[in-house]
């Protein structure tokens, strides 16, 4: 999502970025890696902010963090000062019913140019309807799908995810790379040897699972390298 926001819409590099519900700081860190001019994360959980600060230090990026409840905060001091808002809000179900729309509306009020937000596909029609009510344009810029083949072979996929988990758990502190072409997950061993496991998984499945295991994955800055690099956060 952020790569598209940067390369297609020019909404990241040299821009002031706000991260709503910043959590451990993954989106803010990614925005900085892509060249954001300024980044600030907002989260209700002080423990999450502490972790995000540690992660930003690990990646050597400068990010401000604000401990606040975005559902009620006015954020007047940020109006006109943030170009782009990025967010991965709660899905707005069960105990959080409607909170995703509250945060999305708040983001639209604050952002000077654009809002990039992650949502369940099932809520797309509702979001499009709300966007019209709010008088803003709406566009799907990225979509994560499971192919029919993946659905029919879910048991095999679960087995492959277990293999991935075991491979990572054997060396949880290492950095990893995901090679889409070779369908491999690799790590650099302490002795300099490169260990790899070939997995019958889609690129997106490996990426998602590595995030679940607590890794931040992104394309390297070198455009000649097509694999994705993953570092624990």
CATH number of domain containing 54:
3.40.50.150
Same domain, 119 and 219: no
State the residue for tokens 């690099």.
Answer: 229
Asked if 207 contacts 217 with a C-beta cutoff of 8 angstroms, the reply is yes
Which of the listed residues 106, 134, 162 is the one where a domain comes to its end? Answer: 134
How many domains, the chain?
2
Neighbours of 145 (CB within 10 A): 9
Q: Quick one: 161 and 96 in the same domain?
A: no
144, part of any domain: no
61-85 pLDDT, tens per residue? Answer: 999 999 999 989 989 999 999 999 9
In a domain, 142, yes or no: no
Locus of tokens 């639209």? 108
Same domain, 165 and 108: no
- pLDDT tens per residue across span 120-152: 888 899 999 999 999 999 999 887 765 555 455
Residue 231's φ and ψ, nearest 5 degrees, are -125, 140
Last residue of a domain, one of 68, 103, 134: 134
Residue 82 lies in a domain: yes
141 inside domain:
no
Calpha distance 52→128 (Å, rounded): 31
Confidence of residue 173 (pLDDT cuts 50, 70, 90): confident
Nearest alpha carbon to residue 210 among 230, 226, 194, 228: 230
- Both 24 and 130 in one domain: the answer is yes
In contact, 111 and 18? CB cutoff 8 Å: yes
Q: Do residues 196 and 91 both lie within one domain? A: no
pTM: 0.65
Residue 116 inside a domain? The answer is yes
Q: Which domain holds residue 208?
A: 149-232
Task: Give phi and psi for 172, each to the nearest 5.
Answer: -65, -20
Average pLDDT of the segment spanning 21-45: 93
Instruction: Mark residue 202 as left, alpha or beta (left: phi above 0; alpha: psi -120 to 50; beta: remaining).
Output: beta
- CA distance from start to end of the chain: 19
Q: Extract the tokens encoding 111.
A: 């952002």
On whether both 122 and 174 belong to a single domain, the answer is: no
Q: Are 142 and 1 in contact (CB under 8 A)?
A: yes
Cα–Cα distance list, 167 to 191, 194, 195, 213, 226 (Å) = 17, 13, 10, 12, 22
Whether residue 139 is contained in a domain is answered as: no
User: Same structural domain for residues 116 and 209?
Assistant: no
- Domain-ending residue, one of 134, 167, 186: 134
Residues 8 and 110 in one domain: yes
Q: Are residues 11 and 84 in the same domain?
A: yes
Q: Is the pLDDT of residue 190 over 80?
A: no
Average pLDDT value for the chain: 87
9 and 113 together in one domain: yes
Range of weakest confidence among 95-104, 171-180, 215-224: 215-224
């Amino acid at each position: 999502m952020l790569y598209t926001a940067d390369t297609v819409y020019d909404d990241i590099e040299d821009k002031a970025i706000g991260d709503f519900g910043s959590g451990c700081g993954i989106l803010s860190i990614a925005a900085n890696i892509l060249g954001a001019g300024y980044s600030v994360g907002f989260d209700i959980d002080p423990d999450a902010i502490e972790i995000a600060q540690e992660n930003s230090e690990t990646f050597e990026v400068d990010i401000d963090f604000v401990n606040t409840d975005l559902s009620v905060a006015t954020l007047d001091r940020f109006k006109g000062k943030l170009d782009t808002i990025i967010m991965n809000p709660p899905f707005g179900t069960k105990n959080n019913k409607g909170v995703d729309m509250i945060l999305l509306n708040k983001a639209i009020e604050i952002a000077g140019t654009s809002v990039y937000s992650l949502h369940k596909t099932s809520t797309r029609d509702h979001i499009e309807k709300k966007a019209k009510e709010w008088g803003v344009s709406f566009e799907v810029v990225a979509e994560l799908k499971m192919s029919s083949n993946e659905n029919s072979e879910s048991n095999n996929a679960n087995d492959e995810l277990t293999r991935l988990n075991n491979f990572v758990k054997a060396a949880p502190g290492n950095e990893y790379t995901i090679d889409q072409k070779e369908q491999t997950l690799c790590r650099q061993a302490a002795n300099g040897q490169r260990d790899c496991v070939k997995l019958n998984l889609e690129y997106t499945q490996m990426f998602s699972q590595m995030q679940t295991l607590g890794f931040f994955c992104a394309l390297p800055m070198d455009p000649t390298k097509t694999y994705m690099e993953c570092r624990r956060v």
